[in-house]
Structures are given as C-alpha cells and as structure tokens.
Chain A
Amino acid sequence: MRKKTGPQFLANNSQLLIPLIAILLLVIFNLIRDPGFFSVSIAANNKGDPVLQGNLISILNGASELAILSMGMTLVTAASGGQDISVGALAAIAGSVFVKVLKGGVVSGPIVIAAFLACCAVSMLFGAFNGSLVSFFRIQPMIATLILFTCGRSIAYWINGGATPTIESPIINAVGSFIPGIPVPTPILIVILMGILFALIFRFTTLGLYIQTVGINQGAARLNGINAVGIKLLSFIILGACCAVAGTIGVSRLGLINHETLLINIEMDAILAVAIGGNSLGGGKFKMLGSVLGAYAIQALTITLYAMKVPSTDVKAYKAVVIVILVVMGSPVVKDAMSRFWTKLRSKRPAAAGKEVA
C-alpha cells in the first residue's frame, strides 16, 4: 500500500490525507482483526501458471474499473463542476459493442484490438454527446447524463439483441485475469498503464492546468483565450474512453456481457472516489491520485466487509456509515472546529509549562 509517505509529501498534498487516513485505518483494522489479512501468496491457477493471490491483490484487482473511471470522473468534475452519472451505463454500452464485434468472427489478436477500438469510438461518441449537452447547451452535467443513465443499459441490451452472449478465448482471459507468465492480474497493469498515460499527459501538456482554470472560472478562462467549451467537451470524451477501458475489463473478467449487472452502481462509487480523494465536487482544482486512492479505499472497505462475513446485499449500509464518518471528518466545519480546539490546546500547554518552571 502507499502508506509510506513523508511529511513533506503530506504538506504538499494535504487533500490526499482523507483517502490515506481511510486506507490506513482499514489496514490497521484488518491487521488487528487478522494479522495475515494482507499476506500475498503465489499459487498456481488452473492452467498451471504462477499467480499472486491474497486479499491485497483482490483489493487492487477489484478496484481496477473503479480506479479507471474515477480518473476520468476527476477530469469531468474538475472541468464542469458536475458529475457524470452515466459511466456505468456507458461502460455497459462499450462492453456490448466489444462483444458484438468479437462475435463477428474468430477471436484473434487483431480482432480484439479492433473491437476495443470500436468500443472506444462508440463510448467516446456518447461521451461527446454528454459533453456537448454540458458545454454547448449549458445543461448541468448531472441532468445531461441522466439521459444516458436512464436509457444506456437498454441501449446495451438492444445492441446485443436482447441476449447476454458469452465469449471464450485465451486472449479475453488474458485481459480479464492473467497473462500467462505474469503473476500480476492484468487489470492492475492496465490501471498502472492508464495512470502513466495520464501522468504523461499532465506532464507534457497544459490540459490539467486548463481543466482547472475552466473549472474555477469559466468566464475568466475564456477571456484568457482558453476554449472553455472545448475543454469541457474533451473531459467528457476522455471519460468516455475511460468507460470503454473499464467496460472492456469488466466484460473480459466474466467472459460475458450482462447489460443489467455489468459495473452496476459504479457511477455512485466513482463519484464517491472523487469526493473521498479530497476533490471538490464543485469543480476547480483536482488531484487525480486522490481519486485513485479513494477508489482503492472504497474497494478495501468492501473487501473488508466481505471478509467479515457481511452478506453482499448488506454491505451498502455499512459502507454508508463509513462514508458518513469519513466526510464528516473531512468537512470544513469540523476541520475548523478541530483546528481551533487544537490551537487552544497548544496555547494552554506552553502556559502551563511556563507556570511549572516559574
């Protein structure tokens, strides 16, 4: 885990405190409950390849789609000051297109790539639809994406003609679980790849800065020569691409597309990840790392609850309690009160110490 962070790092990235504390608390809690909780072992899977196993791996692996979606969601949130609630539906559409193309012929390397590109194109198109509603027509993002939220999964159903087709192929297996010879689950590698990609984009382009500028003050950004409409549109298109990746992983994991259950409720988790990551849901400054950490914190919570034998249907209620505790801790009012309390405490202590000396 990424708990080893220096004080300097924390000073620069104080907003990462919330997800880090959340992860830390979960880690400590789990270690107290079961010291072997995070042990990672190498076992052979049913094909005889060595693979990593353990709760840590299942947390990292299970959060992959969420982490990827929360990356895109961070950009959309920062640029438009609103959230896209259609990501789950969009991922389902992308997955359907992916399967639809694969069903067209024999599954081979180039066809998988073609299918991925096709689903990328489709979901970027839908992203552009959302984005144009938000940027050209100035509709609030939540309402604009409500359209796809309502009908997205039905469109996915429609694409597959009312069926839930399955695909069997070693290539799909490699994407969804393990590449033969590499013990780390492939989704984790894809997340790392996406992370590097975004890091490079932010390092070598001004996209991040522009998105922050548009999010903080759209009018000022426009007066400074930034194409605010275009930036918003672009952020939604990027989120569309993220949905395509997440949808592909989700489909490959199971080897089938089920429009009803694929990444269900993930839009809520993705928004939550952005919020836990310390990003303002009102737009403006953002830290993508925070959202990704938030995604892992959510997954760690889920896995912890599963490990405590909580039925999967009840997990939501416990999750809600933890979320409320987290956001209450992070709320500005509580923070202010805490810091006032802290300064009071500190101002008292030297006085008391002084008295003792005297």
Chain B
Amino acid sequence: MNKLPDRSPARRREPVTDTQLLLSITICIFVGMYIMAMLIWGGGFKKPQMLFDILNDNAYLVIISCGLTIVMITGSIDISVGGVTALVAMVGVMILNGSNHLFDGLIASLGLAESWRIVFALIMSLLIGLAFGAVQGFLIAHLEIQPFIITLAGMFFARGMITICSVDPQKAPQDLMDILQKRIEIPWLGSVNKKGVLIPAKMEIGVVIAAVIVVLVFILLRRRKLGRGFYAVGGNRQSALMLGVNVRHTRFMAHLICGLLSGIAGFVFMMHTGAGNATNATAAEMNAIASSIIGGTLLTGGVGNVIGTFFGVLTLSTIKSIVTTSGLRDPWWQSITTGAMLSFFILLQSVVLMRKNRRRRKAKKAAPTNGDKPKDG
C-alpha cells in the first residue's frame, strides 16, 4: 500500500503494475501479521523454529501453488493438483514399503539395495505428475475443452485411483523414512530451551526443494520466453496469437509444468508424512488456489507472481497457527477464520485494483466507458 507514493513521476515513471502492487500488499500483511503474532502471543512465534515448522508442514503446498500460479497466469485452472499429490504420495509409499509387487520384482531381479526404492519412488512421482499434466494439457490446449471440467475429472480420477491402489492406509518403512526425513539443522537460528540447551532450528529437505522450485519458477516467469508467453496468453489470448506466441504450446506447457510440480509435491508430501492415505492432501487444490489469490494472482489470467504465492502460503498457514495458539480450540474456528481472512484479502485486492483503475481512467480522461477492462457501475 505504501508503494503508492512511489508512483510520483520524479521517482518512477513507470506506473506500478498490478503484480507488484498486489505482491507488496501481501508481503506487508504477512510481515505485519507475523509481528503482531509475536507481540501478542510471543512464545512460540518468537522462535525461528515456528517459521520452519510452518515451512516444513507446507513445503508441498508451496510447490503445488507454484504450479497453480503458472496455470492461473495463463488464465486456466487446475484443480487436480491435490488429487495428484495424494496419488503420488500413495504410490510412493507403496513402492517404499514393498506392497507394489511390480517394483518389488524389479528391485529383486536387479539385485539393488533397499534404498533404491526411493529412486524408483521419485521416478514414479515425476512420471505420474508428467502424465497427468500432459493428458490434461493436451485436452485443454489442443482440444479446447474447459479446463475446469478436465481437471475436475483429473481430480476424480486421481482420488479414485488412490483407493484402487489401496483402500487401507499405507505406511513407509522406518529405515527408509529415516533417510527421507533427514533434517537440516541450522544452529545459529536455534533457540535455548528451559534447561539452557541449544536446540538448532530444523528444516526438512522438502523446504529446500520448495525453495529451489520457487526460484526456478521465478526465473522461468521473469526471464524465459516461455514464462513471458504465459503472461501474454493469460492477458489476451488473441493478441498473444497475433504477436506470434504459440498459444496452444504455451498452454500445454503450463499444464505440463503444473502436473510435474504436483508430482514433486506428492514426493515432498510423502517425505514429510511417510504415509499413504485416501484423505491425504484433502482440499489442497483449494488451499493452493487461495494461496495464489492471496499472493496476488488473478484467476482471469495475466497477473501473478510466484513470490507472492510463496507469501500467500505462509500467510494462510500462519493464520491457521495463530488460531490454534490463540486458544480458539473449537474445531470450526480454524476454517471460519481462514474464510474471514480470505474474504478480507479478496475484498482488499478488489478495492485496490478498482481504485487504481479509476485513477488510471481519471488520468486518461478520454473515452469514459470503453477501453479499460473493469468498469465502474
């Protein structure tokens, strides 16, 4: 919000873009909220470990949201991501604990060590993710079917496949999980407990993967031709076509990348929980959409930023931990507050964008009703 004075012509001649504006609002609110939580509830929030816990729990959500941000920037939607994540986690766990006879046989016949299972699980995760992405991308981009329906079918398919794989919850063997759940210790961010022993801050490998993906997606969106194509296609498909962007290929790639990322997210989820369950990652797609929205991505396409999405995930999960620490222990409060915060963010964005558009129109002063996309009633 305090970015607005920057628009004075002396300091910056380019007006603040929608992406930058929404991004700065999100970051301000997240930082403000976290500081508020530190001041009011102190304790846990003052320790860096709290932040790392939030990251550890939500690394998979960060990855999903990155993929969803790309898809949303192209003006499409993918609601199969949660299902794919859960399916990948289930398949991965089944490979790890040996209930998948195909891979069991393969590993036995090749005479490989137990830990090779992890490699196979990773390969399968990527393959499943890519397969979902490719099929959905092809149907959406090349056959021009509404993305909502296709990815809804994808979600149904993934969720159904989980129970076809196994109705009972599966558990990964402990020795393999010890490898996967190895935590990176950061002593200088640790905290001293009551006994005076220093407990280093612990971070899971998943967080590192998520961070790398955020950076990669950021570079893709900012610096690569394909990434700029995403914005062009999402902003206006017709003009993107006229500018020589291969619209079909671009949309296909967006869904392919999103599928791949949900595959990776599934692996990260498995690393975190070590369990395959039909109810894994429930409503993850909606959380991811909410995070992207909080981060300033518009569902209409053309506007969005992966850094914002990252902060969106943090904001969403911080709200949840604030609710639990603040003593509202009834089971309904968490989602009611999430809903309230979500509506606050959505309204705020809408108001900010409306004001900005109005100002821009005032500056133009010409052609009062045509031109700008949103109109005032």
Contact = CB atoms under 8 A, between A and B. Distances in A.
A7 interface: no
A154 interface: yes
Contact of B164 (A222, A317, A319): A317
A222 to B, nearest CB: 8
A105 to B, nearest CB: 26
Contacts of A205: none
A324 B334 CA distance: 36
Given A314-B160, A333-B144, A146 B336 contact: no
A342 interface: no
B146 interface: yes
Interface stretch (B232-240, B265-273, B344-352): B344-352
A140 B303 CA distance: 14
Contact of B339 (A151, A219, A271): A151
B338 A150 contact: yes
Interface stretch (B11-19, B63-71, B147-155, B176-184): B147-155
B346 to A, nearest CB: 6
B40 to A, nearest CB: 23
Interface in A301-319: 311, 313-319
Given A162-B330, A320-B156, A137 B289 contact: no
A137 B374 CA distance: 10
Contact of A331 (B77, B145, B298): B145
B331 A332 contact: no
A314 B155 CA distance: 12
B342 interface: yes
A143 B293 contact: yes
A142 B332 contact: no
Given A138-B374, A139-B346, A219-B369, A328 B336 contact: no
B157 A320 contact: yes
Contacts of B156: 268, 316-317, 319-320, 323
Interface in A135-161: 136-140, 142-144, 146-155, 157-158
Nearest to B342: A147
Considering residues B290, B332, B351, which has the most beta carbons from chain A within 10 angstroms of its beta carbon? B332
B294 to A, nearest CB: 10
A128 interface: no
A275 interface: yes
- Of the four ranges (under 10, 10 to 19, 20 to 34, 35 or more), the interface on chain A belongs to 35 or more
A320 B156 CA distance: 6
A320 B346 contact: no
Contacts of A140: 298-300
Contacts of B336: 151, 154-155, 158
B167 interface: yes
B350 A157 contact: no
A315 B350 CA distance: 39
A159 to B, nearest CB: 9
Interface string B121-165: 000000000000000000100111110111011111101110110
A268 B347 CA distance: 25
B375 A219 contact: yes
B289 A146 contact: yes
B163 A133 contact: no
Contacts of A323: 149, 152-153, 156
A162 B332 contact: yes
Interface string B272-305: 0000001000000010011001000011100000
Give the dominant DSSP class at B's interface: helix
A10 interface: no
A272 B148 CA distance: 9
B133 to A, nearest CB: 15
Contacts of A334: 143
Nearest to A318: B160
A162 to B, nearest CB: 7
B357 to A, nearest CB: 10
Contact of B145 (A154, A162, A228, A327): A327
Interface string B229-250: 0000000000000000000000
B148 A271 contact: yes
Nearest to B375: A219
Contacts of B332: 154-155, 157-158, 162
A150 B286 contact: yes
A83 interface: yes
Contacts of B369: 219
Nearest to B332: A154
Contact of B142 (A142, A162, A333): A333
B145 to A, nearest CB: 5
Interface in A99-154: 133, 136-140, 142-144, 146-154
B159 A146 contact: no
Nearest to B83: A316
A148 B339 contact: yes
Contacts of A138: 350, 354, 374
A306 B150 CA distance: 23
A311 B165 CA distance: 13
A272 B346 contact: no
B324 interface: no
A16 interface: no
Contacts of A311: 163, 167
Interface of A: 83, 133, 136-140, 142-144, 146-155, 157-158, 162, 219, 222, 228-229, 268, 271-272, 275, 281-282, 311, 313-321, 323-324, 327-328, 331-334
The 9 A-B residue pairs with the shortest CB-CB distance, nearest first, are: A317-B160, A151-B339, A320-B157, A316-B160, A154-B332, A313-B163, A320-B156, A316-B156, A320-B153
9 contacts: A133-B350, A136-B377, A137-B354, A140-B298, A150-B335, A150-B342, A268-B152, A317-B159, A327-B153
Given A143-B299, A319-B153, 15 more contacts: A133-B343, A140-B298, A146-B286, A146-B342, A151-B335, A151-B339, A155-B332, A155-B336, A162-B332, A313-B167, A316-B157, A320-B160, A323-B152, A324-B153, A333-B143
Interface of B: 77, 139, 142-146, 148-150, 152-157, 159-161, 163-164, 167, 278, 286, 289-290, 293, 298-300, 330-336, 338-340, 342-343, 346-347, 350-351, 354, 369, 374-375, 377
